[in-house]
A and B are shown apart, each in its own frame.
Chain A
């Protein structure tokens, strides 16, 4: 009976590494299918270029994409950070007072349900063209996930632990610093994972409306008006790459930070 035991043990390792390769297989499979589709059906380049020709185009002029990516990334990062700081301050207040929470909730629902693309032009009219409007738009897009998760996270402390802290007359400020903020970490990291993507959407959208002359959103807009299909797809690929790398970074951070939190996640 020992033979089958050995054989299952033997298949255990390759199966695991195959599993970790699955995402790569998925992406490459998708790109391969796309390339084959374009080649087999002879789709015209100005309708839909294949991924290979898009990558070749990007390699021809990498500095264009690097400098525009830098601009968009910077806007997304600043908007993300601004949103995080404002949402956390409000979450700390709302987690303390049910009244303030109830008063503030309709506003955050409005922000969430009103399409940003509809009121983005209004923001540009109000704040003027340029970085200020882009940051405001980005921050608004990221705001609700940070706020809602912030409130939930700050309230997630074990009530018995809170009573324990009060039994030695711990101040609310110290409870916030030593119990509430660390408890909210898993919540904030999952909000951050959502907001990495949303902050890129916000930055690109901001560039559409805020009359700037750089960034990947601007490159997309120019490509559309001048029918530059290569530049359009090059910008899309760059944005996809930025979003993926940032999401992977946050996931890595989450895995590192939550090692001690293992009990909370299960």
Chain B
């Protein structure tokens, strides 16, 4: 399976709340290559989650257009081209881990997108260490394990584009560090395009091919940095000078646009 190219041109969005208008996004241009891992990095209120939802066809932009392998986001959504990984695990409480993993594939089944084969899904389940928990219910799992289920659920749909909205935000730092490498492992096995929203600089650096730095008021793309670290990424790289140089650079980018 392969990813898809995502092209964003001149996207703008304004929200009206009680007579006040907030410029969530203005003039966002961005092209993401098929199979690329891109992080949207920025503080709260910079419109990164809004951009993610516009790409996924869940929010309509006021101006501009998004295309996924040439198709509009709505038709891409109808064809089940997006695997969403939300902020919290959001598992179905009355379904087992196995059923939760196949949940996105079984919804809207007539749309016809073929999910990963049972063998491939079982390979992903093993990769994140969920083999022994397949028959467990979500409330029997720790927060870290629940988030692994949510990750595998996103990939098991077999969608060419994965949209991740700060999926590790609720995890403690130690669990979070593990989750990053599990995510990279899943990504390397599927080759999907990943768009990953985060407000953690080290997380963006260790995961991504490219980091899009966003600024607030109005929400916009402030800088774009290509991460030169080799793949596969390992925890050792977090001690490498190149890693720290990237972190320093991004911190400078963020500071420049937020003071």
Contact = CB atoms under 8 A, between A and B. Distances in A.
B84 interface: yes
A144 interface: no
B90 A182 contact: no
Contacts of B160: none
B94 A169 contact: no
Interface residues of B, number: 24
Interface string A157-175: 0101101111111110010
Given A260-B93, A261-B93, A264-B93, A169 B77 contact: yes
B94 A261 contact: yes
A261 B95 CA distance: 9
Contacts of A166: 58
Given A169-B108, A170-B107, A263-B93, A160 B86 contact: yes
A120 B235 CA distance: 74
B80 A169 contact: yes
A174 B93 CA distance: 17
Contacts of B247: none
Contacts of A170: 107-108
B113 to A, nearest CB: 8
B209 to A, nearest CB: 23
B163 interface: yes
B86 A163 contact: yes
Interface in A176-198: 178-179, 182
Contact of B139 (A158, A179, A262): A262
Given A169-B77, A263-B138, A158 B108 contact: no
Nearest to B74: A169
A169 B78 contact: yes
A186 to B, nearest CB: 10
B145 to A, nearest CB: 13
B177 interface: no
Contact of A168 (B87, B108, B138, B139): B108
B163 A167 contact: yes
B84 A167 contact: yes
A164 B108 contact: no
Nearest to A160: B90
A163 B58 contact: yes
Given A174-B107, A178-B107, A263-B139, A167 B82 contact: yes
Given A160-B88, A261-B94, A262-B139, A168 B111 contact: yes
A90 B139 CA distance: 32
Given A167-B58, A168-B157, A263-B139, A174 B108 contact: yes
Contacts of B88: 160
B56 interface: yes
Given A160-B88, A260-B93, A260-B94, A169 B111 contact: yes
A168 B93 contact: no
Contacts of B77: 167-169
B153 to A, nearest CB: 8
Interface in B31-67: 56, 58
A158 B111 CA distance: 24
Given A174-B108, A261-B93, A168 B82 contact: yes
27 contacts: A158-B90, A160-B86, A160-B87, A160-B88, A160-B90, A161-B90, A163-B86, A164-B90, A167-B77, A167-B82, A167-B163, A168-B77, A168-B80, A168-B82, A168-B107, A169-B108, A169-B111, A170-B107, A170-B108, A171-B108, A178-B107, A179-B92, A260-B94, A260-B95, A262-B139, A263-B137, A263-B139
Interface of B: 56, 58, 77-78, 80, 82, 84, 86-88, 90, 92-95, 104, 107-108, 111, 137-139, 157, 163
Interface of A: 158, 160-161, 163-171, 174, 178-179, 182, 260-264
Given A160-B90, A165-B107, A169-B77, 16 more contacts: A160-B87, A161-B92, A164-B84, A164-B104, A167-B58, A167-B77, A167-B82, A167-B163, A168-B80, A168-B108, A170-B107, A170-B108, A171-B108, A260-B93, A263-B138, A263-B139
